[in-house]
Structure 1
Amino acid sequence: MTTTIAKRQNGNLATSFGNVADHFLQNSLRRFFDDNFWEAGWPAGNVPVNVKEHEQHYEIDVIAPGFNREDFNVNIQDNLLTIGCNHTQEKQDQDTKTGWARNEYVQRSFSRTFTLDDSVDTNNVNAAYSNGILKLTIPKNEKTKKTARTIEIK
């Protein structure tokens, strides 16, 4: 990110409209050509995730619109669940009359890792991507599923 140090007149901010407009235009152009302006999505590791516990399973929703199902990689190694995504898109436009050409190359990626305990069945995890949400269902082990029962009072 670029920070601009602006010269002040008499210790005050620029007072004329022209100075304000120049400052705004310079910042806008600088931001336009700054690589960070074109980045889409979230900072690495900050993709929104919802985790919910149900009686029979856990549910993880990864909010990731604009990706394709093929972009995701979900794996479990030891007790770590890793959800990764890498999306690459290239777009080319060219106007032969004017000679203008545009070539945009977009890459978005993220990775999130969750530690799983012994209460889950890692062999039966399911994942589905629909409407911009990757939904993982992680079943609980039989021994850890909550069962309701009435306790006799003696």
Structure 2
Amino acid sequence: MTLVKFNPNNNQKNSFLPGFNDVFDSIFNDTFFSDRLVSRVPAANISESQDHYHIELAAPGLTKEDFKLSLERNVMSIAVEQSSKNDAQERNFNKREFSYNSFVRSFTLPESADQNGIEAKYENGVLCINIPKREDAKIQTRQIEIK
């Protein structure tokens, strides 16, 4: 038996079969299909301070050994390859949303970035990457005299 969602408030005056479109809406709006259409990569925050660029990647449940950072020309890639662990206590999940088996995020660094001074740390589920700016690219402020 198949359950089909029906919305009587949906006014479809131009449709030949009013219930026909509801069938497709219920299929494609189902979480089974929408979960597989969404890419599973962690969200990133990118910010800039006076002398650094900052990238924060939200990836809870991983360890620092899971990450692999690489730099090729001006593209920095963050990759995670995590093997699935089979616990002795196997559970049957009804829905499982927080699992990263593998992903790659790439960021193009600006020319003003100093690629030799990049530092990264993983703390509390967030990978923080600090990219220093070159000396000539740092924001300089000065007071201008008005005449």
TM-score by length of 2: 0.66
For the pair 1:47 / 2:42, whether they are aligned, the reply is yes
CA distance in 2, matches of 1:123, 1:86: 25
| Count, aligned residues | 117
Match of 1:143 among 129, 136, 140: 136
Matches within 5 A, 1:86-105: 86-93=81-88, 102=90
Q: Counterpart of 1:134?
A: 127
Q: Which structure's residues are more often strand, by fraction?
A: 1
Query: Cα deviations across residues 92-143 of structure 1 (Å, max 9, x unaligned)?
Result: 427xxxxxxx499x76111111111211000100000010000000001100
Paired residue type of 1:88: S
Moved over 6 A (4+): 4-7
* CA deviation vs aligned residue, 1:25-68 (integer Å, no higher than 9, x gap): xx9xxx7xxxx98x9xx724x32000111001011000000011
Other-structure match for 2:145: 152
1:118 to 111, 130, 135: 111
What do you get for the CA RMSD once the two structures are aligned? Answer: 3.3
Who wins on radius of gyration, i.e. which is larger? 1
Distance (whole Å) between structure 2 residues aligned to residue 107 and residue 114 of structure 1: 19
Gaps spanning 5+ residues in structure 2: where? Answer: 5-17, 20-29, 93-98
Equivalents in 2 of 1:90, 1:138: separation in Å?
34
Report the CA distance between 1:69 and its aligned residue: 0.5
Structure 2 partner of 1:64: 59
Q: Is the 8 A contact 1:64 1:134 kept in 2?
A: yes
Q: 1:90 touches 1:103 (CA, 8 Å); kept in 2?
A: no
Distance 1:70 1:144 in 2: 33
